[in-house]
Amino acid sequence: MLKVDGLNVRYGKSHVVFDFSAEVKDGETLAVLGRNGAGKTTTIRGITGLLPGASGRVIVGGTDMSGWPAHRRTRRGLAYVPSGARCFPNLTVVENLDIASHANGDGWTWNKDRIWELFPRLESLRHNLAGGLSGGERQMLAVSRALMGNPRVMLLDEPTEGLAPVLVQSIAALLATLKSTGVSILLAEQNHQMALRVADRAAFIEKGRIVEVLPASRARDSEVLHRILGV
């Protein structure tokens, strides 16, 4: 569903991501794991088309999006959920969903009724301002806003960043629920324990380079996990 081939990202003269290549199958979750500063966020932003210094091929559902601007990639099925559970704080939950909704050319799949079915908690808060939600609730809303664009692939950047341990568990449940809908997921995450619970495979990144890709079941106690993450 997603194929990235030879992604390189530069900030001016600084080369940050080196020949990143990976595939995410239909309905699969691939976790990208690495220490802070390893290049996880830059990789995701390069895939989305948000960085002018990115080169390489990005193919979603057979469509080559290389060179496309970010908004065009979004409309053809690539959704990005940035870190920090960003939303429009002065809009209600419903208004946040409405402003993000559009079809991607394959028919209308996601709507508010389906969002309420997936996340009943959001339905009970639908008229609340997004700025007053808890961290976990805002993350649900951020994911729901991305789903309203009817994506084929979702890229999530550090969804547990800054959250208390109890909320980390709710995000893990959220990702497992999201995976059950059949959406393909590329997950950049610092919390490797949570990521490996929900992922099918893990790609370890160090200094902007992939050094190993393993099934999640093998990655949980692998030498590369201890070496790259220092755990």
Is residue 24 predicted with pLDDT exceeding 80? yes
pLDDT band at 181 (very low <50, low <70, confident <90, very high): confident
Q: Which of 17-21, 24-28, 100-104, 209-213 has the lowest mean pLDDT?
A: 100-104
Q: What is the pLDDT of residue 140?
A: 86
Residue-wise pLDDT for 47-84, tens only, equals 999 998 899 999 999 999 999 999 999 888 899 998 87
Token output for 62 = 């057979």
Residue-wise pLDDT for 188-199, tens only, equals 998 899 999 999
- Which distant-in-sequence residues (6+ apart) come within 8 Å of 17 by Cβ? 7, 8, 9, 39, 42, 43, 46, 54, 208, 209
Q: What is the pLDDT of residue 213?
A: 95
Residue-wise pLDDT for 145-166, tens only, equals 988 888 889 999 998 887 778 7
Residue-wise pLDDT for 201-220, tens only, equals 999 999 999 999 999 999 98
Q: What is the pLDDT of residue 3?
A: 96
- CATH tag, 2-229: 3.40.50.300
Q: What is the pLDDT of residue 103?
A: 55
User: Please, what is the Cα angle at 49 between 78 and 58, to 5 degrees?
Assistant: 65
On whether the CB atoms of residues 17 and 188 are closer than 8 A, the answer is: no
Is residue 105 predicted with pLDDT exceeding 50? no
pLDDT, mean of residues 9-37: 93
Question: Percent of the chain, pLDDT > 90?
Answer: 56
Domain boundaries, the chain: 2-229
Average pLDDT, the chain: 89
Q: What is the pLDDT of residue 160?
A: 84
